Amino acid sequence: MSSSGPLLSITRARTIAYSLADQALAVGGGFLANVALARAQSKQEYGMFVLFYSVFSFLLGLYYAAILEAYTVYGAGRYREHFGQYSSLIVKSNVVLTSVVTLILISACIVVSVVAPHLMSGAMLGLALTAGLLLSGYLLRRAFYVRRQPILAFGSSLVFFVTVGGLLWITADLSHLSALSVFLILATGWLAAWALFGSKIGLVGYGRSFLELEPNYWAEHWNYSKWVLATAFVFQFTTQGYYWLVAVFLSAKDVANLRALYLIVGPVEQVSIAVSYLIVPALAAHYAGRRMGEFLSVTKLYVLATIGITAVYAIGVRVAGRSVVHLLYAGKYDGLTNYLFALAFLPLVIWTGTTLAQALNAAEKPQFAFWAYTSSGVATFLVGVPLVVHYGLWGAVYGMLFSGATYTVALTVSFFLTVGRRSNLLVAAPESRLDLNPIMEREL
């Protein structure tokens, strides 16, 4: 019996371990910052930080659309033979994009400070100064996953986590922890990671440029990214939008309450994200290579694994959630644990659909994620708003669950009516060339 099987299993296990550790460290830095600020500042102050961090989440959605989604699918798929040149183009584009974002945000701060100085806050200034660096941290890690080198992503996140942890400890000890300082600390963490690991991406600065090799690339990039960009404008309404609904109809303190609870729920989502960093490039490679049987098989396993992980975590929150809340927040949020028990099911509801969305993206069909998020956004306005108005924080929790369920149902229907059905047909009759986009038709 060949030893290649066990060796392959060990390699896969090591890859998954690095990915999980990377995600734990990358998100762990933000988690530490949130907990430290929630403990050190009033609920009002922490609530303002949450609101402006939700603005960053919106910018991150746009950034995914403009850079990361296409980079992941194309870098692991059709352009994998020219990865160095392709990455050089993406990194240069990232510099331009993040510089523009920074200038816009700083200009907005200047306008607010002049026109309505009472609305200016440390959280707003912190976002403006650091958004570009925070976004670039996602590109650094994603490049290593596209190269199938999660150990380098782990190394960069380790540098980020250690830097953030150390600066948080020093800042808290000096009693200078604020929304502004937290944003600056997070940005410093990613700056340190880029300084130590940026050269390892594998950029190619000699020979023919990528645009010389693929002169029509930006047209293809836009053809893919336009749906992801549209999705970025509507996906906020599934979860992030509820922070703003709570702020408008309730108070900033309730925003802090909702965010503090969501931080307990968030770790299981990070496990799912870590797995997705490994799965999506593999799915994209299977699709680009017309291996539709493998594509469908990996998708099924991915969905089942996601359901199992999120369900077990929800049960764990029910068992230990009360103690965890007390320990993390030193008794400050103890009265909210009943909300937590319901909110713990949100990752199960949402991530079941997200796995299918990522499979559709890997199959270069991002429009279906857009329509699913649109359905969720409609549910938020038609059902979520009345729930928040009439039932307060409980309404926000139930609204998030309902919006998430709407999103998942829409994606399930889309997947089975498109990729799932066509993949089965292609496996049965590969000569039919079903499920190939026009560009791949021409290449074949």
- Taking the C-alpha atoms of residue 61 and residue 55, their distance in angstroms, rounded to an integer, is 10
Confidence of residue 267 (pLDDT cuts 50, 70, 90): confident
Q: Inform me whether the pLDDT recorded for 444 exceeds 50.
A: no
Q: Inform me whether the pLDDT recorded for 155 exceeds 90.
A: yes
- Taking the C-alpha atoms of residue 90 and residue 306, their distance in angstroms, rounded to an integer, is 30
Average pLDDT over residues 105-124: 89
Q: Which two tokens stand for residue 350?
A: 């949402």
Q: What percent of the chain has pLDDT over 70?
A: 88
Q: Inform me whether the pLDDT recorded for 181 exceeds 70.
A: yes
Confidence of residue 158 (pLDDT cuts 50, 70, 90): very high
The least confident of 60-74, 197-211, 317-331 is 197-211
The reported pLDDT for the residue numbered 193 is 94
Average pLDDT over residues 118-128: 88
Q: Inform me whether the pLDDT recorded for 65 exceeds 50.
A: yes
- Taking the C-alpha atoms of residue 230 and residue 232, their distance in angstroms, rounded to an integer, is 5
The reported pLDDT for the residue numbered 189 is 95
Confidence of residue 429 (pLDDT cuts 50, 70, 90): very low
Q: Inform me whether the pLDDT recorded for 132 exceeds 80.
A: yes
- Write out pLDDT tens, residues 220-237: 778 777 777 777 777 666
Q: Which two tokens stand for residue 195?
A: 């300084």
Confidence of residue 205 (pLDDT cuts 50, 70, 90): low
State the virtual CA torsion across 66, 263, 406, 369 in degrees, nearest 10: 20
Q: Inform me whether the pLDDT recorded for 33 exceeds 80.
A: yes
